[in-house]
Copies of this chain bind each other. A is one copy, B any other.
Amino acid sequence: MIINYPNGKKYIQSQSTNPSPEEKIKKQKNTAYSNRGMTLEEDLNETNSYYLDRKIAVIHKKPTPVQIVNVDYPRRSAAVIKEAYFKQASTTDYNGVYKGMYIDFEAKETKFSTSFPLKNFHEHQIVHMKAVLDQNGICFVILRFSTEEEVYLLEASHLLSFWERMINGGRKSITKEEITEFGYRIPLGLHPRIDYIKVIDYLYKLS
């Protein structure tokens, strides 16, 4: 069943099979409960594993970049990194392939309820997103309002406009209204938890 949002956008249903009304209530309760304490990263890792296992898409989180300074090589056991520092990533955190297309995104969460601060993104990530769009890659951000447990997909082209507005002296955040207007809310599920590929299918007419 397709339900249209008041703004005319299609409601994107979760990938799981249709539950009965009773199951639905139970599921929603479970979801709310099960997500408590789950980070956005954990939810996305679970989602990407789901996609990988079912051959839906191959998308991975990149390892945290670390500058290794000192490594100890004890005899007969694994090398131990004794001194290292966190490096700033030069790209977004997630990328991979879906139906031949390059997928690239960053995921961030905020405790604010009315806006999403742009300081969650770094200049070089913005530069990377522009480069990906120039190569016709599919690029977006997944934004989570952690208090409300609401998750949105916002295409990088929109994020770049809001970034530009900030650079030109405008507000340093995206309002919640702007996110609901330009982004797509992703209903939370149990398995997968954040079915963002559904939005990609809808945006790129893939299914």
| Residues of A in contact with B (beta carbons under 8 Å apart) | 52, 55, 57-58, 60, 62-66, 68, 78-87, 89-91, 95-104, 128, 131-132, 134-137
| CB atoms of A95 and B95 under 8 A apart | yes
| CB atoms of B78 and A86 under 8 A apart | yes
Q: For A66, list chain B residues within 8 Å (CB).
A: 63-64, 66, 68, 81, 84
Which of B60, B79, B85, B87 contacts A80 (CB under 8 A)? B85
Q: For A86, list chain B residues within 8 Å (CB).
A: 78-79, 81
Which of B52, B85, B136 contacts A99 (CB under 8 A)? B136
Which of B62, B65, B99 contacts A135 (CB under 8 A)? B99
28 contacts between A and B (CB under 8 A): A52-B131, A55-B131, A55-B135, A57-B135, A58-B131, A58-B132, A58-B135, A60-B90, A60-B91, A62-B63, A63-B63, A64-B66, A64-B68, A66-B66, A66-B81, A66-B84, A80-B83, A81-B83, A81-B85, A84-B84, A95-B95, A96-B102, A97-B104, A97-B136, A98-B135, A100-B137, A101-B102, A102-B103
Taken together, the copies of this chain in the complex come to: 2
Closest chain-B Cβ to A61's Cβ sits at a distance in Å of 10
Q: Which residue, A58, A62, A68, A80, has most C-beta atoms of chain B within 10 A?
A: A58
Q: For A134, list chain B residues within 8 Å (CB).
A: 55, 58
A87 to B68, CA, bound (A): 14
A134 to B96, CA, bound (A): 13
Closest chain-B Cβ to A51's Cβ sits at a distance in Å of 10
Which B-chain residue is minimally distant from A98 (CB atoms)?
Answer: B135
